[in-house]
Amino acid sequence: MEIRAVVLLVAMTVTLCSSAAVKNHWLGYKLYRLQVSTQEQLEFLRALDQEIEYKDLQDKVDIWTHLSQAVLDLKMPINVIISPEKQPEVLALLEEQGIAYKVSIDDVAAAVEAESFMSPADQKAADAGKMSWTAYHRYATMEAFVQSLAQDYSDIVELKMIGKSYEGRSMYRLKVGKPRADGKKKPAIWMDSHIHAREWIASATLLYMTNKLVTEYSRNSTVRRMVDDLDWYILPVVNPDGLEHTHSDSSYSTRMWRRTRRISPFAECLGADPNRNYDFKWMLSGAVQSPPCSDINAGAFPFSEVENLHLTDTALEVKDQLKVFLTIHSAAQMILTPWGYALEYPSDIADLEALGRRMANAITAQYGVRYQVGSSTYLLGAAAGATDDWGKAKAGVKYSYTVELRDLGYGFILPPSHIVPSGIETFEAIIEAHRTVVAEFGTTLN
């Protein structure tokens, strides 16, 4: 059955005609949600996934969900996007295997267009260097926005340029916190996002939360306590080159770009998966060097990606303060704990799971969006060299997590109308994180 899948996919490869218009690139694409109910079905999809990658067909059939054991055990949905010319064969294969599926986005072309839509008000905001929370903005707008926050709220915001991305974009780390009158150091929470280029909701959500922390300080007592008690170190976009690339045209492979953009002498493909590029258990599992174009290519060596180095340098500067480390992705609705390199657990896993569950419950309480909590290896599959493992092992942060934001059947094509609800529900999680840090560590470092 595996061989049959391969033969069909290769035989049916059709070159798409290229066009600048979204409609033409994505016309007829549909996003499906699959559900496996047997081990055999899961193995079938894994084999299919490998063949798709090997034959470089991801722009026609792309399994977005990591095919971990948990998708079977916990009956988690599997997002698969399929081009029109591939739908008949792939759906026939699914039916032959008895794999249940339904369409979750029928008109992907329209969804992609809606996702990039800027109303006149959004455009006006962007031109003025402001974020509106009703559209996905470009990196230049995000830069202008964090600069203006630092300027307008200099009593609680400090902006630091931490280095340049490979293509020369400035990267920023904000520190949000009211300095204590007695000058003592405070515990801190780290948040970063948008290491994967296509995960637009990640930076939109983190910047929404940043904006709330800063602009509501003077009028919201919950926010005031969060900013008084702790420092918040925020790196909103870890992969600015990738982010900009995903906006540069509307072809499938551009919009779904995940990696960095470094020109490599070793490979025809640019960059690597920065979330496999940290120097802890690098390449041990769930990461490859071949094929070079793989979405989980770990890079030629640890920290081959300069953006990762900027993140770790700036995090290590404040590591004595850090108690929680949140690295924000989309879209699987999960709070993931270390370790991600193998099905092993840190000795304080009970504490990590407890806060993870409190954060997930707080998110769910807002709008009912359900989150899974568990080990990264179990829920997503082993993936060494990722940010959360680095935060725990190398920066020594007790509560280190990967947060996978809402999916709700949209995968990476989440309409911009979700930015505000995602921001609001995820803010509930950081309220929990704040509460735990204060309860466990107090508000000063000894």
Considering the complex, what minimum distance in angstroms separates the CB of residue 51 from ligand NAG?
46
Does 40 qualify as catalytic in the annotation?
no
Q: Does 147 sit near ligand NAG (CB under 6 A)?
A: no
Residue 341's contacts (CB-CB under 8 Å, 6 or more residues apart) are 280, 281, 284, 285, 286, 377, 382, 383, 384, 385, 389
Q: Does 134 sit near ligand NAG (CB under 6 A)?
A: no
Q: Which is nearer to ligand NAG, 220 or 361 (CB)?
A: 220
Question: How many whole angstroms from its chain centre is CA 290?
Answer: 23
Strand order in the sheet with 188-193: 157-164, 170-176, 231-235, 188-193, 322-330, 399-405, 334-337, 372-375
HSE-up (13 A, CA, CB side) for residue 115:
24
Binding mask 193-232 for ligand NAG (x = CB under 6 A): ---------------------------x-xx---------
Q: Which option in Zn ion, ligand NAG, none does residue 220 bind, with CB closer than 5 to 8 A by kind?
A: ligand NAG
Q: Label the pairing between strands 322-330 and 188-193.
A: parallel
Q: Does 133 sit near ligand NAG (CB under 6 A)?
A: no
Question: How many whole angstroms from its chain centre is CA 30?
Answer: 22
Q: Which is nearer to ligand NAG, 200 or 427 (CB)?
A: 427
Considering the complex, what minimum distance in angstroms separates the CB of residue 258 from Zn ion?
7
Please say whether the beta carbons of 399 and 360 come within 8 A: no
Which residue among the candidates 53, 115, 404, 425 is catalytic per the annotation? Answer: 404
Q: Which option in ligand NAG, Zn ion, none does residue 196 bind, with CB closer than 5 to 8 A by kind?
A: Zn ion
Q: Which is nearer to Zn ion, 33 or 329 (CB)?
A: 329
Of the candidate residues 217, 233, 427, 441, the single one contacting ligand NAG (CB under 6 A): 427
CA distance 265 to 327: 30
Considering the complex, what minimum distance in angstroms separates the CB of residue 422 from Zn ion?
15
In the complex, which residues of this chain contact Zn ion (CB under 5 A)? 196, 329
Q: Nearest-CA neighbor of 341 among 405, 404, 388?
A: 388
Considering the complex, what minimum distance in angstroms separates the CB of residue 156 from Zn ion?
30
End-to-end CA distance of the chain: 62
Q: Which is nearer to ligand NAG, 71 or 437 (CB)?
A: 437
Catalytically annotated residues = 404
Q: Report the interface residues with ligand NAG, using CB under 6 A.
A: 220, 222-223, 427
